[in-house]
């Protein structure tokens, strides 16, 4: 992943954290956990194309 894209991703994550904080969610999960939800990874690991 290019360095500039990584910086953009980090900035986007910080903005998302601000929005979640602003909305005062009662059960706010860690933004990293939301973006990298484990069950989604398991589903995509098992998918084959072709």
Q: What is the pLDDT of residues 1-50, one digit of tens each?
A: 565 666 677 788 888 888 878 877 666 666 666 666 666 555 555 556 55
Domain-located, residue 50: no
Domain count, the chain: 1
Q: What pLDDT shows up at residue 50?
A: 54
Task: Classify 2 in phi/psi space as left (phi over 0), alpha (psi -120 to 50) or beta.
Answer: beta
Give the total residue count for the chain: 50
Whole-Å CA distances, 1 to 7, 8, 15, 31, 34: 10, 11, 20, 20, 20
Angle at 41 between CA 34 and CA 13, to 5 degrees: 30
pTM above 0.75, yes or no: no
Domain-located, residue 9: yes
41 is in which domain, residue-wise?
3-45
Domain-located, residue 17: yes
Instruction: Copy the structure tokens of residue 22.
Output: 């602003």
Q: What pLDDT shows up at residue 10?
A: 79
Domain-located, residue 27: yes
Domain-located, residue 18: yes
């Amino acid at each position: 992943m290019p360095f500039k894209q990584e910086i953009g991703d980090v900035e986007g994550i910080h903005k998302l954290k601000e929005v979640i904080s602003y909305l005062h969610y009662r059960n706010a999960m860690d933004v990293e956990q939301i973006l990298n939800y484990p069950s989604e990874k398991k589903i995509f690991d098992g998918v084959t194309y072709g």
